[in-house]
Structure 1
Amino acid sequence: MTHQFDPTSLREYDIRGIVGKSLGPSDATAIGRGFATRVRAIGGTRVAVGYDGRTSSPDLEAALVAGLRAGGIDVVRIGLGPSPMLYYAEATLEVDGGIHVTGSHNPAEYNGFKMVLRHAPFFGDDITDLARLARAGDWSTGDGAVTDVAIIDAYVARLFAGYAGGSYRIGWDTGNGAAGPVIEKLVELLPGEHHLLFTDVDGKFPHHHPDPTIEANLAHLKRLVTDNKLDFGVAFDGDGDRIGVVDALGRVLWGDQILSILVEPLLRERPGATVVADVKSSQALFDRITALGGIAVMAPTGHSLMKTAMTRTRAPLGGELSGHLFFGGEYYGFDDAHYAAVRLIRAVHLSGRSLTELHDAMPALVATPDLRFAVDDDRKFAIVDAVIDRLTSEGAQIDRTDGARVTTPDGWWLLRASNTQAMLTVRAEARDAAALDRLLAQVDAHLAIAGVTRQRD
């Protein structure tokens, strides 16, 4: 027996596609067979499995479990929940790896699989190897057992453990995603007053899509916070590993701004610690880490790459512009938006100021969101390489951590190829609007040479 994956489903960080088109139960079974083979090759015997709230997730989870069992692996099923709950299960139960069935922040018709092996992200060449095993049918065989473990209460208790964050009035929007049940239990433990939106899990996402990196998806939360005069609001993506935040005035704090608040108590308690931020993050964040006595490390964008960078540098904290925030030290090193919310409450409390005041104190910079434009997968990396060659020949100040991050007297701009979509992405930050326009004009000039036009909002 062999299997051929749709190549578009094999992403850098995970496996993801449109259910019924590029992804289905047979793929889930093949993933289980391949992962079982890899686990057994290192002497492992047990794998934790969970799934998110998408309508296709139960069928994919059942097929995945069947594949793992046929590969001779015992399966620990934790049921419906967010990805960080699966990561927690993998970190604390006696298992050798974990797989979560999730479409993350993608539209409702998508689904996929995030994988962990021996507490490390399973990505890149590991995913390529699953495809190789499937093509050859080179799978282990056996008859694994299944047990069910209810872990949500232990997970929520761990989120709350040692809480010392004070009492606030907070709005919470889980967008009908898998974070809902966790937040319902968490707010029962937290002091203060809590207003909840859309915590019932519904894979059709009837109110808004659960992706807090798109500001339009935060409209309900903004209204909740401002109408009720709450201290701030928190939102989550579909599988609970991305956080979004609004202050009392309804203004959005992006991932790098949230991280800039978290670094102060961390560096007070751990002087000289390393903090990792992705290449899209504001220069103001890197400057702040350095000013507070920390070591700032820039890393490529992508949750698996960020986890790898944090392990390599032994950083206790890291984050991406996209709202993935990672916690090492006394935690487990993975991205967890629920834990990020608890840590944010604590950081605000320790600051002695409101979140709105902390937001007001941030440098007044002008930045774009993530600007995206479609480019064929077989061209996107070549275009970036050509731009890097041109910039190098011009003597530009360029950082090649992930694509090209170019610093000029006006600010900086970034051009990189997406690892998950047939897209190029651009981000720029400057001291004022005129400087930002000049930066974007530079980007457009480089793209025009490749015959590419940036999509305008």
Structure 2
Amino acid sequence: MILIVVSGLAAAIWINDYQKQSALTKFNQQQTEKLAIAASGMTDMLQDWQQRFADMAAVNAEDPVAYGWPEASLACVLAAIPSAPTTDACIPVSFGTINSLRQAEKQGMSDFAVMQPNTPQAHILLTKRLEASRFLVLTLQTTELENKLRERYLSIGSGSLALQQGAQNWLTLFQQGDNTVQDSSPIYTQTLSGAYWRLAFWPADRVAKSAAWPALIILIIIVCILCWLVATRFSTLRPKKQVQTGARPRPVEYVENEVNIDHTPTPTAIRVATPKVSKTESVDRVRPVDIKPVIFKTYDIRGIVGTQLSEPIMRVLGLAIGTEAQHQEQTRIIVGRDGRLSSESFSDALIEGLLASGCDVTDIGAVPTPLVYFASQHMRTHCGVVVTGSHNPQGYNGLKIVINDKTLSGEAIQGIYQRIQQSRLYSGEGQLRQADVIGSYIEQVKQVVPLSRPLKVGVDCGNGIAGKVVPKLLTALGCDVHELFCNVDGHFPNHHPNPAQPQNMQDISKLVRDKHLDIGLAFDGDGDRLGVVNGEGEIIWPDRLLMLFASDILQRHKGSTIVYDVKSTGLLEQVITKAGGKAMMCPSGHSLIRAEMLKHDAKLAGELSGHIFFADNWYGFDDALFAACRLLALIADDPQRRGATEIFAAQPQRFNTPEILIDLDTAECRRFMTQFTQNAQFDGAEVITIDGVRVNFDKGWGLVRASNTVPGLTLRFEAETEEDLEQIKQQFIQQMLQVKPNLSLNF
């Protein structure tokens, strides 16, 4: 009777929550319909602007307000397109202005765009071509426009709505609603024809669960206790028998297999479990889950928490990964996780799936990604999986996978998806162990990279998982460590943990300057990418680190291959060749570089994003912690006692840009790159197409490629002088606009 009452109460609460959720879903659908109406209204407004501007003659430039433009702040006629930004024209001319003028030259009128957004100088620019190669330009105030948009079009009762402009990223011009729901991608976007703008909508997150659930849970616990007491009482009246359960095995203590740096194992205390696998590729007890193919990326598995990734999905991924490992005759897997809010529960679900496939799992807990790679070599499991969102925004998470000492990428990642789709999964019961490898890692790094003198080092971990290890490691090496954001916090409250972006390096630069430190180090969210600033707080990009590391390694390994990616400086080839090595350029991507490194037995590899691989006296995986220690050792051992600033100043240098991102959806990126590769013309230059289009000129180079980690195009430029750099940029701008005239290229 009690169970019936409890079941009825639970059903009533569930129905109530379901009704609330249905109401919220219906409300969000209504909001989306409102957005379609808002987009239509804004399109009508833009078309009205276009028509009024098309009818406006050059003589009206003297008095645009009288012509009927109350929001106008300035209008004038330009006799030609300026060759570079200037303040000497009738309006301030930026690169964005030049792009608009070029677009107007090609199609008669440019798309609307806000110049200098989110500043007191913000204005809307309208540009059209006149006769005799002249141009009429008009600037509109944004304040009255903002009021009109909020009043007429951007009306919303819940969720968050924004008018955004596409540039290097989507930049929010005006926003209304709850911006705390904007952690993930918007569920609705509508591009506005005739402008570099879109509407983006994020719905209300979720419905609050009924407050009756806690009371129900307490009642269920009481009922369970009563049932147990009754069962215990009756069990004394009948013969006892042993019961064998199929529950998940409890962790057992794990004794490490100590392995020397030369990979020669010492006598082992580890018990190698025999496979507990039924080699029939089916698992009847797997509950169907909706797994989106979009999460299977080029280098890893990655998606948005809650919509693309969940605990049930992680369990099925564990089944598939465990099956693939056993297909390659591997039965033991290391599992670690980063400090994101969802990583612990995702790790538990992943482990459950791996065990259910028949693999034995060693859980090493919350550690940087390189420590999972280290453990897979140190314990000789040859397999490891990391639950990590890497440097992606807070709402993301994913998996990095190593099977049989190979980092999965490309077709291998897609193979995991195919296994799931075709239900080709093993069934078994694995053994779960737990281990702490942080101490072993630190001791081995100390043996390989001793420092000859102490250094004053600034460390910014961006609240990522590297903060759990880096301060301990550098202190153990004898450094005077000054910490920034080394407490692990999955909210990332201070800045995004991505040292590839200059804005994320500002804090460490300031710390180094203020404290007069020798060097500053920054790490990404999972600790496999390194950022560096010298003693003056200047950013040292990773391709310059590779130049220093290559020169050092090639002193001891003449003729060795050094691998680097297409985004890296052209000076690398010169430095490597001069030092007696073989320079090899390859596509970007840590797993692709790792594969090339193994193929050519390279002693060093790296890419501009900060992944650096050492195989001269380390294991050959990307390890930002070890790379930082190698850098500190080179500075400490410098025979001239130079600091980091002097050491890097002695390197050959060129003018270059950081990595530039042009936001574009994935399908559009593919179409653009196909057309650009086929149609772009760079006379007299060397064109390399191993990853996008890299064009080598006599005095520099430029690159455009489709990013494999975020939707968009990535670009980078380098030249001997600033003038050469600007000329190369302009050549790329012209060629890219011929393929897609409405691209926003503000670089």
TM > 0.5 fold call:
yes
Q: Is 1:229–2:519 an aligned residue pair?
A: no
Shift in Å at residue 394 of structure 1? 5.2
The 8 Å contact of residues 295 and 301 in structure 2, kept in 1 or not, is answered as yes
Deviation digits for residues 256-309 of structure 1 (CA, Å, limit 9, x no counterpart): 011111122211111222111111000112211111111111111000001011
Q: Structure 1 80/144 Cα, relative in aligned 2: closer, same or farther at 3 Å? A: same
Q: Please name the residue that 1:301 is paired with.
A: 588
Shift in Å at residue 354 of structure 1? 1.4
The 8 Å contact of residues 49 and 98 in structure 1, kept in 2 or not, is answered as yes
Compute the RMSD of aligned alpha carbons: 1.7
Q: Is 1:44–2:330 an aligned residue pair?
A: yes
Query: Where does 1:108-257 land on structure 2 (aligned, <5 Å)?
Result: 108-166=394-452, 167-257=454-544
Deviates more, 1:127-136 or 1:81-90: 127-136
| SS class of match (1:310) | helix
Shift in Å at residue 83 of structure 1? 0.3
Shift in Å at residue 82 of structure 1? 0.5
Q: Please name the residue that 1:388 is paired with.
A: 677
Deviation digits for residues 142-167 of structure 1 (CA, Å, limit 9, x no counterpart): 11121101111111112221333322
Report the Cα distance in structure 1 between the residues aligned to 2:418 and 2:706, rounded to whole angstroms.
25
The 8 Å contact of residues 104 and 238 in structure 1, kept in 2 or not, is answered as yes
TM-score scaled to structure 1, two decimals? 0.96
Q: Please name the residue that 2:306 is paired with.
A: 20
Q: Choose from 390, 402, 424 the match for 2:691.
A: 402
Report the Cα distance in structure 1 between the residues aligned to 2:632 and 2:371, rounded to whole angstroms.
20
Report the Cα distance in structure 1 between the residues aligned to 2:634 and 2:547, rounded to whole angstroms.
10
Q: Is 1:453–2:743 an aligned residue pair?
A: yes
Q: Please name the residue that 1:439 is paired with.
A: 728
Letter in 2 for 1:26: P
Does 1 or 2 have the higher relative contact order (CA < 8 Å, sep 6+)? 1
Write out the 4+ residue segments of structure 1 that deviate beyond 6 Å after TM superposition: none
Q: Is 1:89–2:89 an aligned residue pair?
A: no
Q: Choose from 56, 59, 71 the match for 2:357.
A: 71
Shift in Å at residue 218 of structure 1? 1.6
Shift in Å at residue 384 of structure 1? 2.2
Which structure's CA Rg is the greater one? 2
Shift in Å at residue 123 of structure 1? 1.5
Letter in 2 for 1:126: A
Deviates more, 1:240-249 or 1:419-428: 419-428
Shift in Å at residue 42 of structure 1? 2.1
The 8 Å contact of residues 471 and 481 in structure 2, kept in 1 or not, is answered as no
TM-score scaled to structure 2, two decimals? 0.59
Q: Choose from 106, 109, 112 the match for 2:392.
A: 106
Deviation digits for residues 392-442 of structure 1 (CA, Å, limit 9, x no counterpart): 795641122211110113310111111222211111101122211211112
Letter in 1 for 2:743: T
The 8 Å contact of residues 419 and 425 in structure 2, kept in 1 or not, is answered as yes
Q: Structure 1 393/441 Cα, relative in aligned 2: closer, same or farther at 3 Å? A: closer
Deviates more, 1:401-410 or 1:77-86: 401-410
| SS class of match (2:537) | coil
Deviation digits for residues 375-405 of structure 1 (CA, Å, limit 9, x no counterpart): 3322323422332333479564112221111
In structure 2, stretches of 5+ residues that fail to align are 1-285
The count of aligned residue pairs is 457
Report the Cα distance in structure 1 between the residues aligned to 2:449 and 2:373, rounded to whole angstroms.
21
The 8 Å contact of residues 45 and 73 in structure 1, kept in 2 or not, is answered as yes
The 8 Å contact of residues 34 and 133 in structure 1, kept in 2 or not, is answered as yes
Report the Cα distance in structure 2 between the residues aligned to 1:329 and 1:248, rounded to whole angstroms.
28
Letter in 2 for 1:27: I
Letter in 2 for 1:185: K
Shift in Å at residue 93 of structure 1? 1.1
Deviation digits for residues 343-397 of structure 1 (CA, Å, limit 9, x no counterpart): 1012223333211002222334211211111333223234223323334795641
Deviates more, 1:312-321 or 1:438-447: 438-447
Shift in Å at residue 224 of structure 1? 1.5
Q: Please name the residue that 2:552 is paired with.
A: 265
Letter in 2 for 1:171: G
The 8 Å contact of residues 372 and 455 in structure 1, kept in 2 or not, is answered as no
